[in-house]
């Protein structure tokens, strides 16, 4: 191999290392730097059903949690594939601006426990919150702490059990910082809404003026 070819090869692999730019939903080439053309036109968008109401108040989600979206979120969350963060953040930021524009002053997230953080090395909802905040030039605020490492909600199907599973497992980090503000609460997926309900309750008990929720995806049949 000539020196030039060898250097070109190294340059190419470094470029791919820093800019993999794969579509997070199918692994194909990301045509626009975020996702591929096919996924952009065929993803399961929530569209006019983006906002759901529940005990958590209102929650907006740009996507349904199924097919390639479900795979992409599982890869992100459990395999640490962070390449889709820009894409996820942009979709969430747009959805929040469309559905809740002017209704919140600050952004926070549903935290994982310390034990989970040690195992997974990153807090998936914190990263989503940070990504969606990039274009708004604000930093998300840590308002909640998860004090109990309860069993994962994904292993609990029953609605009442999911509610019981999260009761009392979150606490406010600094109520003085929470009070009086209108919060956008970020999580990866909304299923029954039990986790969001509990976190919204803790924020409101700490004096939050309002809480609206935002997730990347929503389970369709709840």
Q: Which residues would be at the binding site for Zn ion (CB under 5 A)?
A: 23, 25-26, 28, 36, 39
Instruction: Please report how close the Cβ of residue 45 comes to Zn ion at its closest, in angstroms.
Output: 14
CA quadruple 212, 127, 156, 152: dihedral sign: negative
Instruction: Label residue 183 exposed, middle or buried (CB < 10 Å: 0-12, 13-18, 19+).
Output: buried
Instruction: Please report how close the Cβ of residue 63 comes to Zn ion at its closest, in angstroms.
Output: 13
Instruction: Please report how close the Cβ of residue 36 comes to Zn ion at its closest, in angstroms.
Output: 3
C-beta of 23 vs 60, nearer to Zn ion: 23
Instruction: Please report how close the Cβ of residue 44 comes to Zn ion at its closest, in angstroms.
Output: 13
Maximum distance among all Cα pairs of the chain, rounded to whole angstroms: 68
Q: How far apart are CA 143 and CA 185, in angstroms?
A: 10
C-beta of 67 vs 207, nearer to Zn ion: 67
Instruction: Label residue 131 exposed, middle or buried (CB < 10 Å: 0-12, 13-18, 19+).
Output: buried
């Amino acid at each position: 191999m000539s020196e030039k070819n060898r250097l070109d090869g190294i340059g190419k692999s470094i470029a791919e290392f820093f800019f993999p730019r794969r579509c997070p939903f199918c692994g194909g080439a990301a045509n626009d730097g975020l996702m591929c053309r096919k996924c952009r036109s065929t993803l399961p968008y929530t569209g006019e059903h983006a906002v759901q109401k529940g005990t958590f108040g209102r929650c907006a989600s740009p996507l349904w949690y199924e097919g390639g979206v479900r795979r992409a979120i599982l890869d992100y969350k459990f395999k640490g594939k962070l390449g889709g963060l820009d894409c996820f953040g942009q979709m969430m930021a747009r959805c929040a601006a469309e559905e809740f524009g002017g209704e919140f002053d600050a952004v926070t997230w549903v935290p994982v426990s310390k034990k989970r953080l040690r195992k997974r090395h990153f807090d998936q909802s914190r990263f989503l919150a940070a990504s969606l905040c990039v274009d708004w030039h604000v930093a998300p605020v840590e308002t909640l702490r998860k004090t109990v490492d309860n069993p994962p909600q994904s292993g609990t199907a029953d609605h009442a059990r999911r509610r019981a599973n999260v009761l009392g497992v979150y606490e406010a980090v600094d109520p003085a910082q929470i009070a009086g503000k209108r919060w956008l609460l970020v999580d990866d997926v909304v299923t029954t809404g039990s986790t969001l309900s509990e976190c919204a309750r803790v924020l409101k008990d700490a004096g939050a003026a309002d809480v609206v929720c935002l997730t990347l995806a929503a389970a369709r049949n709840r």
